Chain A
Amino acid sequence: MAAWKGSTTNVLSHETAIYENSFPVEGGTYENAGHVSSQIKALLKRMKISKEVVRRAALVTYESEINICSYARSGKIVLRVTPEHVTIEAIDEGQGIVDIELAMQEGYSTATDRIREMGFGAGMGLCNIKNFSDFFRITSEIGKGTHLKMVIRIDKDFDGI
């Protein structure tokens, strides 16, 4: 199953990456949640990418991390930066999502009480990710895992959302 936002034609595959790295995310614990987002935020800041793009990238990474921590056995965040785009992929090994359309609905969540008590699992994460990306795609396979791809345009003339 899949759902998406935006058009891939905006994302040129021949663009040369100026930075590419993969960051592991541990599933089943919140102990290090936010760690990868912080690293990515610091990296993008050092690359002098605009504040707004950095903040959006940090947000989509954070929500992806929380999803992996909450629902997957393990996962990784892949960051790829080109002169035009910041691409973030969140790839996990886990139970997968049964109904993506439902999962994309604001307020829908399969979170346990424990997760909700911590202020997660409000059914906003995937919506946030979609809203803060210029291109978003989600695919999932039951019993195998979920793959999110988010692209944020680095637009030098438009530093806003």
Chain B
Amino acid sequence: MYLKDIVLELNLKVVSGEERLTDEVLGGYVGDLLSDVMANSKEGDLWITRQIHQNIVAVASLKDHAGIILIQGCKPAADTLDKARKEGVPIMVTEMPGFEVIGRVYNMIATKKGPDPST
């Protein structure tokens, strides 16, 4: 599963890190508490959040995430965008509420991995 597949399927708007759309997405993580994301997310995860300040770039970069999806029409702050572009961290934005984004991303990743997403 590549980041560009998810971007196309969910019609996400890519605002930074376009050069990494061909990176593989290994999983996903959902959270707005940065310490939770730091502790529990994994390399290659697509991080879904509504935090928009520049520290999300540091977290995604430190954890080697595949990218960040900002939900519900959240837009990255100007300094977040600058930093993400500089560091090549893909940020995608969507008007969709988190529940829908998460469900669709989960289904895409899970169905590519095996026939039964619950196992």
Is A118's CB within 8 Å of the partner chain B? yes
CB-CB < 8 A to B54: which residues of A?
30-31
- Asked if A62 and B53 make an inter-chain contact with CB atoms under 8 angstroms apart, the answer reads no
Classify chain A's interface size.
20 to 34
Prevailing SS type, chain A contact patch:
helix
Is A58's CB within 8 Å of the partner chain B? yes
Question: Given the interface contacts A38-B61, A38-B62, does A124 sit within 8 Å of B33 by beta carbon?
Answer: yes
CB distance from B50 to the nearest CB of A (A): 9
CB-based nearest B residue for A126: B35
CB distance from A158 to the nearest CB of B (A): 18
Question: Given the interface contacts A118-B53, A119-B51, does A58 sit within 8 Å of B35 by beta carbon?
Answer: no
CB-based nearest B residue for A124: B35
Among A107-161, those with CB < 8 Å from B are: 118-120, 122, 124-125, 128, 131-132
- Asked if A122 and B35 make an inter-chain contact with CB atoms under 8 angstroms apart, the answer reads yes
- Asked if B36 and A132 make an inter-chain contact with CB atoms under 8 angstroms apart, the answer reads no
CB-CB < 8 A to B34: which residues of A?
66, 118-120, 122
Q: A34-B55, A55-B64, A118-B34 provided; 11 other pairs, C-beta below 8 A? A: A30-B53, A30-B54, A34-B58, A35-B58, A37-B58, A37-B62, A38-B58, A41-B62, A55-B63, A62-B59, A131-B39
11 intermolecular pairs with C-beta atoms under 8 Å apart: A30-B55, A31-B79, A34-B57, A35-B58, A38-B61, A58-B62, A59-B62, A62-B38, A62-B58, A119-B49, A122-B36
Closest 6 CB pairs of A and B: A34-B58, A124-B35, A122-B33, A119-B34, A58-B62, A119-B51
